[in-house]
Chains A and B, each alone.
Chain A
Amino acid sequence: MYTMPVTIPITIRLQQDDFDVSHEIRALTHGRIDIGAVVSFSGICRGGAIIALTLEHYPGMADAEIRRHVDQAIARWPLTGVTVIHRYGRLAPGDNIVLVLTTSAHRQAAFQGAEFLMDYLKVNAPFWKSEQRPQQTSWVDTHHRDDDAIARWNAR
């Protein structure tokens, strides 16, 4: 395990507004020469039968919970920067929902750190989606595969 104390740029934002992925990457990497890899994950509202998604969250706990997992990722991999932005409120198909950026000297830590963060945020960050469909609006159920994704990290 990577346990060296580190101070790295960490940005965590919960917002209704959209975010600009390239702007966030620039903000995280600008002027840095220690970064060899930046991984960007965007979660996007899927269309199909859904008219809109509404994301409810627990203010105060959501940022703390994201921060807790960012700290775990930093303890586990030699990351040099992390940005997590999670939107809430009403979102339409095609809209951004969540952004995770990780930077590192080498790609493996950045890839794994980003994937770890997304897997944990899905099951532990206090957000709840409701889906508006033509006939009804209903709360999204959890997926067993999300729990399976967590078990994978614990087994490593």
Chain B
Amino acid sequence: MKVIYFAWVRERVGKAEETIDPPPSVRTINDLIQWLVGRGEEYAHAFEKPVVRAAIDRIHVKLDASIVGAGEIAFFPPMTGG
């Protein structure tokens, strides 16, 4: 699946997007965050504040949402548009 990052989440991870292949035990957004955090310090830094939001296939989701069948998962800070 494709994962994309925005704003300071992108800066901390150090890339705008990547393709990942997490194990089947990674079922929810929360699981995915934990799995990413285990991959390196840059991810631990990006997700250290419990404020990061997520979207699956361009729709806002809660952190306990299932990622089964997801094509594109986005992580970003709270929005500050307008």
Contact = CB atoms under 8 A, between A and B. Distances in A.
A58 to B, nearest CB: 6
Q: How large is the interface on B (under 10, 10 to 19, 20 to 34, 35 or more residues)?
A: 10 to 19
Given A58-B58, A61-B58, A123 B77 contact: no
A127 B82 contact: yes
B79 A140 contact: no
A118 B82 contact: yes
Interface string A43-79: 1000000000001111011001100000000000000
Given A61-B58, A126-B55, A56 B79 contact: no
Interface of B: 4, 6-8, 55, 58-60, 74, 76-82
Nearest to B82: A122
A141 B78 CA distance: 8
B7 A98 contact: no
Contacts of B77: 128, 139, 142
Contacts of B79: 122-128, 142
A102 B4 CA distance: 33
Contacts of A139: 7-8, 77, 80
